[in-house]
Amino acid sequence: MNHAAVSPLSCRVRNAMVGLLEDVHRFGSEHWDRWVDAYAATRRAVSNLLGSDPSEIAFIKNTSEGISLFTNGLDWREGDEVVSVEGEFPANYYPWHALDKKGVTLRLVKGESGRVSLDEIARALGPRTRVVTVSFVQFLSGFRLDLEALGEICAAHKALLFVDAIQGLGAFPLDVRRAQIAGLAADGHKWLTGPEGSGLLFIRKDLLDSIQPTSLGWMNFRRWMDFSSHDPTWRDDARRYESGTLNTVGIYGLGAAVDLLLEIGIENISERVLDLTDRLRAGLKERGHEVFGPTARAESSGIVSFIPRSQTADQVVEELHGDRIMVSARCGKVRVSPHFYNSEAEIDCLLEQLP
């Protein structure tokens, strides 16, 4: 119950990755054409998940890289502003904060008990706001933002909406068109149930020319397969953000993970996750632990954090680990994060094991 950290890999994901390793072990690059098919299939699967077009998807190594690509690629002007919220995971803070070197101000909206207020965000937007950057789900409180409502606010102010989606994507529906998202990044190893180091970046098609690729190699360019060419014309889709050889084994894993989630259905997954976290929250309150974060279903996610009644978070995490129950200690709280395949019995078992 630690999907907010790293998910275990399903049999389907493991088999896809082991199959590729075995193939490369025996045949080297002989079946290279199959890898190319797998890149295309995974791009399609990710697009189905996001409601995007495959041409808007680039493979990246992690969320941080995607955020940095976006922050470094925009043509910032002195005096521009970025709006975000307090308490974001550091990956969605440092790259924006570093823009102060270019004269860009990062404005942080205060949250309350891990809740993010859309009204507060709206109030922070001004004529110089270029980007609003938020996590789909907050890593500590588990607060899940209404991205479609935020997309409306951003559109009204002509600000670009960027989303760090790693704590929600795979467990909750997210439609980049309906939420009017400009850019989004996530690695595969949390709610997508894929491997580490195999992430995805979405950049809206009409922004490809406004967000310059900053990590360059031989594959960003239109004539990338012509090794005698030094033609600096970008590829015409989001593959312009991929600089060199891809993480093929990771992409096999990511593709198998997304296919499995889509087969089960994201709506089914989200209802199931919310049933489990509702049960968990109720049990924690009953036992006198202090739950941190949202309680309304519309704002909840797969993450439930709490301050334990008697021991420290570290002690509780260690004890539970001794009982083979994996959760995390974060910022003085115990963070529990079950996915759809965890059972009610497992939730009850965790509650019973709590000191």
Q: According to CB under 6 A, which one of 135, 193, 220, 337 is a site residue for ligand PLP?
A: 135
d(CA 139, CA 143): 8
Can you list the alpha helix ranges (DSSP code H) found in 220-355? 248-264, 266-286, 313-322, 344-353
Q: According to CB under 6 A, which one of 42, 47, 52, 64 is a site residue for ligand PLP?
A: 64
Binding of ligand PLP by 91 (CB under 6 A): yes
Centroid of chain to Cα 182? 15
Helices (H) and strands (E) in the chain, counts: 10, 11
Q: Map residues 18-57 to x or -, x wherever contact with ligand PLP holds by CB under 6 A.
A: ----------------------------------------
Per-residue 3-state assignment (H helix, E strand, C coil) for 12-37: HHHHHHHHHHHHHHHHCCCCHHHHHH
Binding of ligand PLP by 141 (CB under 6 A): no
Q: Closer to ligand PLP at the Cβ: 142 or 235? A: 142
Stretch that binds ligand PLP, among 8-16, 89-97, 104-112, 225-233 (CB under 6 A): 89-97
Site for ligand PLP, residues 280 to 299, rule: CB under 6 A? none
Residue 232: how many other CB atoms lie within 10 Å: 10
Q: According to CB under 6 A, which one of 92, 193, 198, 300 is a site residue for ligand PLP?
A: 92
Binding of ligand PLP by 167 (CB under 6 A): yes
Q: According to CB under 6 A, which one of 7, 47, 52, 63 is a site residue for ligand PLP?
A: 63
Joined tokens for residue 55 = 């041409």
d(CA 112, CA 115): 5
Give the binding site for ligand PLP (CB under 6 A): 62-64, 89, 91-92, 135, 139, 164, 166-167, 187, 199
